[in-house]
A and B are shown apart, each in its own frame.
Chain A
């Protein structure tokens, strides 16, 4: 199987990392609810927090998903802060009300926030109490999406990690694929794995609570997202083994990811080729078209979703870009190592953030494309930089072969747009 070769110049795995601690310009983990609640169709996410938390969810969602969404915020009020006992009573009452109104809900996540953590409202205890009360119809779990504990995509990690201890035990040798993917992408992945004769494949998160995801000592798991560090640890605690691989972005990443699984399950070369050759060729063609405007250009990543390292690998190796700085909120060697190995040496790898200093660096470097959060994109555009806002990368289907061209397109569109607009005043 043709596993991508390490770059001759050496990768970035051992490159010195610029570690920064200062003002961060990132979302908190609550944001993950916006895509998780679409994925888990019988789950409700109840944030126990403040008006700020509710406002964040509403603003980050961009447009309001009307009808009643399957998330909400139980806003703490003065009285809840005064007495924790009362806060628990209040929470029970809100949950009772919610569950009686929404009989379709089978799993309820109590999501901790900064305020609930600072006042030490024990949501784990609350979840246990409420599980007993509402069993067997509803399972109640808890995790923290707070900004003092989690950065943006870490919310999904915390959510999946809290589900691992309650997954049923299995002795079967099964593949578990971990990470919330859009349905269309998930189906493509399952088709590819099935074509290699790998199955049954279990998914975390599953669409519904009573689907058959289980874990045990013979489980091997693959991650589809680079931000699932805690889930990785939780699965290892259950005896499962991680199939280490680059992440399935782009043709090369997808092939490497599938090849690692194929090797684990002893899939022969011919079968692998039969399953992947056609989509690989399509992906290459699509990338070639979409990356016409990317080739030879430079890119600078602000830390946001932990997707930065795998995406930098994709843009540099498959789209012909050079990376100037690749910032990630956290770097986790077991997860990011394989992508760092492939990322050609050269860029500054940075972890954490001091946003003002990073802005100084980006202004000095003047990259052709800056990947950053929503708060920074327009101000940087106004300074003449071309930007791609990073949140779209977690809201859009970008994994695996058939989306590889779209992924390159997400980056090339801002550059192309800048070249098509003719707005300068006549001289």
Chain B
């Protein structure tokens, strides 16, 4: 038993719903109680879809339990097929139905339907949403794919895009365009937009682009093994990754690929002088493994940030994320407990967080700007505008996304110069975020509000901030204050000091100057 307040991932059947909702001509018959229908709103409200997810819930009740929930399931499946006329159905159980062991797969099989029935076995008490999506897509591919000749022209499939995915809609569009520029057709994009008949055509492609390992890797591996289709390992998020991705496709297709980079703006934007202020900004990165890995590279190599923390919530990606963190000289935080993430952020006091909607809330609380780079996301992260993460336009979008929450270069200087000005006082936050300025109270978590001096236990030592040092610290702009405090304390500890004076503060400043 584990106490949970907010979760990064839903149960595995929600992953199956993401696949079903992404596809066309597929229906999901889900053995589940009525309350589980809440999941529809994820798609209709958060993602603003204009259709109900293609899901029939059996909505069994307590009074059905003793009698015949199996009949209820069979009736629901038969009715759903008659009403929606899908090309195939997937059938499965939610957490409650798993306990009553009705075997939806066997029951649906026994109906003798004239369409493929794909049973799903998703262990609700062990696995989560991403696994559910990955496994469902794999089962669909395994059941429906048909051996067939390759397309005459070089083509690939795009694998892994689902409903409720972070910018999947636009990533598909961006990659389709990029591949077209390289002279490569998209044979099938799946699950997003595919019908069961399209799934059958997957083997006609020459190779696969695995867009999101979280939701497409099992299918990609199976297609490689069964139909000899290689799949791409680089996820093209960021400038470097996109170039590597193109090179990887060149190797797969044994072609010299040339690409027009004229739409790519990130390199100049990040080199132009206003961006100097980005140098060495300390960032903490958390999300799903794929987006975290991509953003770690972007942060360091393309934005010039200093990465001070890396982690992911999906255990399936623990190994690569640990290896990546090591490369950055860090230890990865692998957890799905947002309180542990909050604690890590509080300790590290980064200047910026790249995270999910959970980290956005953490950032709000701690007064640290946050850019959202990964699912789970809320309704405002499903923008109306074209806003991919992948490819060259994706890189441009990411540059804007990462600087938006920050105080801009020139403004940063003005804040320092006019510290005492009533309009420029630092608690006002970035000027372009009128309504969302970090509140002064938000820094309370970092700043103990004891009247004259602050006492903090660091390990076994007790460190005392003298009044003058504390006063001086307050003069440092809010967006670097956390760092100044930490650096000073680390410096004082290294010198064996127990008291921090104004001098210690400036000695530390000199020590860490870069």
Docked CA distance A308–B99 (Å)? 34
Binds B, one of A74-82, A103-111, A231-239, A278-286: A74-82
Is B50 in contact with A379, judged by CB distance below 8 angstroms?
Answer: yes
Measuring CB to CB, which residues of chain A are less than 8 angstroms from any residue of chain B? 22-31, 46, 48, 50-52, 54-56, 58-60, 63-64, 66-69, 71-78, 80-81, 87, 90-91, 93-94, 97-98, 114-115, 117-119, 146-149, 151, 356, 373-379, 381-382
Are B364 and A90 neighbours in the complex by a CB distance under 8 Å? no
Residue with the greatest number of chain B CB neighbours at <10 A, chosen from A67, A149, A374: A374
Smallest CB separation, A60 vs chain B (Å): 6
**B483 within 8 A of partner (CB):** no
CB proximity of A237 to chain B, nearest CB, Å:
22
How distant is A217 from chain B, measured CB to nearest CB, in Å? 33
Evaluate contact between B51 and A379: CB separation under 8 angstroms.
yes
Inter-subunit contact B56/A23 (CB<8 Å): yes
Contact of B41 with A147 in the complex, beta carbons under 8 Å = no
Contact of B45 among A26, A58, A378 (CB under 8 A): A378
Is the beta-carbon distance between B37 and A26 smaller than 8 angstroms? yes
Pick the residue among A60, A69, A78, A374 that contacts B125 (CB under 8 A): A78
B83 within 8 A of A: yes
Given contacts A374-B45, A376-B52, contact A25 B4 (CB under 8 A): no
Query: What's the tally of chain B residues with a CB closer than 8 Å to chain A?
Result: 57
Q: Complex Cα distance A30/B357, Å?
A: 23
Residue pair A382, B41 in contact (C-beta under 8 Å): no
B5 is contacted by which of A68, A93, A114 (Cβ under 8 Å)? A68
- Determine whether the beta carbon of B125 is less than 8 Å from that of A76: yes
Q: How far is the CB of A377 from chain B (nearest CB, A)?
A: 7
- A24 B34 Cβ-Cβ under 8 A: yes
Instruction: Determine whether B35 belongs to the interface, using a CB cutoff of 8 Å to chain A.
Output: yes
Given contacts A55-B38, A66-B362, 15 further A-B contacts (CB under 8 A): A27-B34, A27-B35, A27-B37, A28-B38, A50-B125, A55-B11, A60-B41, A72-B4, A77-B1, A78-B125, A78-B126, A115-B95, A147-B34, A356-B83, A375-B41
Q: Specify which chain A residues have a CB less than 8 angstroms from the CB of B36 in the assembled complex.
A: 28, 52, 56, 147
Q: Assess the B37–A75 pair: CB atoms within 8 A.
A: no
Interface check B189, CB cutoff 8 A: no
Residue pair B4, A73 in contact (C-beta under 8 Å): yes
Query: Which B residues from 93 to 136 make CB contacts under 8 A with A?
Result: 94-96, 99-100, 124-126, 128
Known: A58-B7, A375-B41. A114 touches B35 (CB 8 A): yes
Q: Which positions 324-380 of chain B face chain A at CB distance < 8 Å?
A: 357-358, 361-362, 364-365, 378
Interface contact A87-B1, CB-CB below 8 Å:
yes
- CB < 8 Å: which of B9, B37, B83 contacts A375? B37
Q: Which residues of B contact A375 (CB under 8 A)?
A: 37-38, 40-41, 44-45, 52
3 A-B pairs with least C-beta separation: A28-B35, A147-B35, A375-B40
- Which of the residues B11, B34, B60, B83 comes within 8 Å of A28, measured between beta carbons? B34
User: For residue B427, which residues in chain A have a CB less than 8 angstroms away from its CB?
Assistant: none
CA distance A114 to B59 in the complex (A): 11
Contacting A at CB under 8 A, from B18-46, are: 33-42, 44-46
Nearest neighbor of A98 in chain B, beta-carbon distance: B3
B126 and A147 contacting across the interface, CB-CB below 8 Å: no
B2 at the interface (CB under 8 A from A): yes
Q: In the complex, which residues of chain A have a beta carbon less than 8 angstroms from the beta carbon of B51? A: 379, 382
Which positions 36-82 of chain B face chain A at CB distance < 8 Å?
Answer: 36-42, 44-46, 48-52, 56-62, 65, 76, 79
**Residue B477 is within 8 A (CB to CB) of chain A in the complex:** no
A31, A73, A114: residue with the most chain B Cβ atoms closer than 10 Å:
A114
Residue of chain A at shortest CB distance from B63:
A148
Does B280 belong to the interface (CB within 8 Å)? no
Query: 26 interchain pairs (CB within 8 A)?
Result: A24-B37, A50-B125, A51-B4, A51-B11, A51-B95, A52-B96, A55-B14, A55-B39, A64-B6, A64-B358, A68-B5, A72-B5, A73-B3, A73-B5, A74-B2, A75-B4, A77-B1, A77-B126, A78-B126, A93-B1, A97-B3, A114-B96, A147-B35, A147-B59, A148-B60, A373-B41
Instruction: Determine the chain A residues whose CB is within 8 A of the CB of B10 once the complex forms.
Output: 51-52, 55
Docked-complex contact A118 and B1, CB < 8 angstroms: no
How far apart are the CA atoms of A80 and B125 in the complex, in Å? 10
Q: Which of A64, A148, A373 contacts B361 (CB 8 A)?
A: A64
